[in-house]
Amino acid sequence: MRVLNLLIERFSTAYLGGIAVDRVATVLAVLMSYGMAHLFRLIPAKHPQTKHVFSILATVFLFGVVQEQTVGLAHLATGALGLYLMMAALGTHQLMPYAVFLVAMAHMSYSQIRRQLSEAAGEVNFDYTGAQMVFVIKVTSLAFCISDGQKDSAKLSAYQRKNAIDGVPQLTEYLGYVFFFPGFAVGPAFEMATYRRMINFEGSRTTWQQLNVRAYWTLAAGMFWMVVYVMYGNEYTFHHMITPAFAQMSFVAKSVRLCVSGVATRAAYYTAWKMSEGACVLTGLGFDGFGEHGEAQWADISNVHITKVEFGTSIKELIDSWNIGTNTWLRHH
């Protein structure tokens, strides 16, 4: 939708300090996913195939049309189908998850190298490698969870038992999972078991109202950090630290600028992750079963705990609170 992105470019130049069009388009796509999430949850749990197809088509529109990532969408669709065929062909073979991992990582490495070469030539306007990183986490996690489903549960960790998958899922379910529209572009990444619980969740009116509050409060947090980024992102950058002006500053001024530049840089990630998280919450993602009194329980699907990142008292706390989906993937798979 070239006309839309021309309008985005003009709007960014006039009101957002010239923020890159692909970033603004990503924010727009995430905002549109909130409306789609309301439509998505109107589909009854007894029609899971309809939910899968809705998710796939929503991603095609948001990522392929709004963000103009047709090449990236083709790459990820081809990769998804190829890896699915690998999982189906290798089945319960013990090397299946490792083969999927190697192929998925090789494909992502190709994309990253291609992007870097294109950037050096000044030819990149839109980049799909961010979405591909989320995709790789999800598809390789699924492969390992399928493998875990064939093992003796006594030999698995609690996390593995909870997320083990008994066999390769149907194609529509698989594509609905890897192309889940609210978190496709920037995450969060999550397990197939989490996706299945969301698909099968039938919430009461009160539960959905509570989710609305959580989702839009999370969106508000993302919007706050977007304002921070728009106001200070261009002024406070790490690039400034290699300029002569920075060299003339006092040690205290340099330290303050370093800290503020870090916050301004992280604000872009906070914006994307929190806004996307809110849309995922709105669909019911994170449903973790019912408690002993029948109340719905929810798992934490956040990709960042901002307070712990900004005010953490140890490196471990900071690392554990940043890019949580990737940390979970590395820890358990």
Asked if 135 and 187 count as a contact pair (C-beta separation under 8 A), the reply is no
Burial of 94 (0-12, 13-18, 19+ CB in 10 A): exposed
Q: What is the per-residue pLDDT for 116?
A: 85
- Bond before 188 cis per omega within 30 degrees: yes
How many CB atoms neighbour CB 117 within 10 A?
A: 11
Asked if 131 and 68 count as a contact pair (C-beta separation under 8 A), the reply is no
CA–CA separation, 232 and 212 (whole Å): 30
Asked if 263 and 228 count as a contact pair (C-beta separation under 8 A), the reply is yes
Asked if 133 and 172 count as a contact pair (C-beta separation under 8 A), the reply is no
Asked if 280 and 182 count as a contact pair (C-beta separation under 8 A), the reply is yes
Q: Residue 134 pairs with which residues in a beta bridge?
A: none
Q: Which residue has the tokens 């494909």?
A: 107
Longest alpha-carbon distance in the chain: 66
CA–CA separation, 305 and 319 (whole Å): 10
Question: What is the full per-residue pLDDT of the chain (333 aa) written as tens digits?
Answer: 566 767 767 776 666 666 777 778 888 899 999 999 999 999 999 999 999 999 999 999 999 888 888 889 999 999 999 999 999 999 888 999 999 999 999 999 999 998 888 776 666 555 789 899 999 999 999 999 999 999 888 899 999 999 999 999 999 999 999 999 999 999 899 999 999 999 998 878 888 998 999 999 999 999 999 999 988 888 888 888 888 988 899 999 999 999 999 999 999 999 999 999 999 999 999 988 777 776 778 888 999 999 999 999 999 999 999 999 999 999 998
CA–CA separation, 150 and 153 (whole Å): 9
Q: Which residue has the tokens 């690039």?
A: 239
Q: What is the per-residue pLDDT for 60?
A: 95
Asked if 302 and 294 count as a contact pair (C-beta separation under 8 A), the reply is no
Q: With helix as H, strand as E and coil as C, how does the chain read?
A: CHHHHHHHHHHHHHHCCCCCHHHHHHHHHHHHHHHHHHHHCCCCCCCHHHHHHHHHHHHHHHHHHHCCCHHHHHHHHHHHHHHHHHHHHHCCCCCHHHHHHHHHHHHHHHHHHHHHHHHHCCCCCCCCHHHHHHHHHHHHHHHHHHHHCCCCHHHCCHHHHHHCCCCCCCHHHHHHHHCCHHHCCCCCCCCHHHHHHHHCCCCCHHHHHHHHHHHHHHHHHHHHHHHHHHHHCCCCCHHHHHCHHHHCCCHHHHHHHHHHHHHHHHHHHHHHHHHHHHHHHHHCCCEEEECCCCCEEECCCCCECHHHHHHCCCHHHHHHHECHHHHHHHHHC
Specify the length of the chain in residues. Answer: 333
Q: Distance of alpha carbon 195 from its chain centroid, rounded?
A: 14
CA–CA separation, 324 and 189 (whole Å): 9
